[in-house]
Structure 1
Amino acid sequence: MGTNPETVITTSHRVRCDGADDIRGGAALGHPRVWIEIDERGYAECGYCDRRFVLKGGPADHA
């Protein structure tokens, strides 16, 4: 069975992802660092690792 992509709640409209924030050893084990803009939908997804970034209090924040 597959797992759902990780969701990160953020307060910033611009976020960075390198796929290795929670991996000991850092970016060498992840993917190239990319900057992602969260749009009016209130979320954006990383094209490398599918991590979803959700703007806190935005339209996609269902917490």
Structure 2
Amino acid sequence: MPIAPPEISLVETRRVKCDGAVSIRRGTNFASAALGHPRVFLEIDEHGYVDCGYCDKRFVLKGGPADGADHSKLPDVSAGAS
């Protein structure tokens, strides 16, 4: 049975970037990118979401088919990473 991704970010564009440091930011003290992972660019497809292959953060297209869905029931979609 799939489980929900550790972090979900609602976005307004189909192309997103992730460096892993976002999930470790606290208040106004930002963690170094060295604590994250290499920056990757991801493309949201017809599923309406994409998962980062490094940190499993899920990016959900605002107003798309996955917006408001129960993400614990959706499979990982990491295709389109570059």
1:41 aligns with 2:47: yes
* Alignment RMSD: 1.7
User: Shift of residue 4 of structure 1?
Assistant: 4.3
More helix by share: 2
More strand by share: 1
TM superposition outliers: structure 1 runs of 4+ over 3 Å? none
Segments of 5+ residues of structure 1 without an aligned counterpart are: none
Which digits, 9 at most, give the CA deviation of each residue in 1:10-57, with x for residues without a partner?
A: 001000000002422231110000000000000000000000000000
Larger Cα Rg: Structure 1 or Structure 2? 2
Q: TM (normalized to structure 2)?
A: 0.68
Q: In 2, Cα distance between the equivalents of 1:46 and 1:4?
A: 10
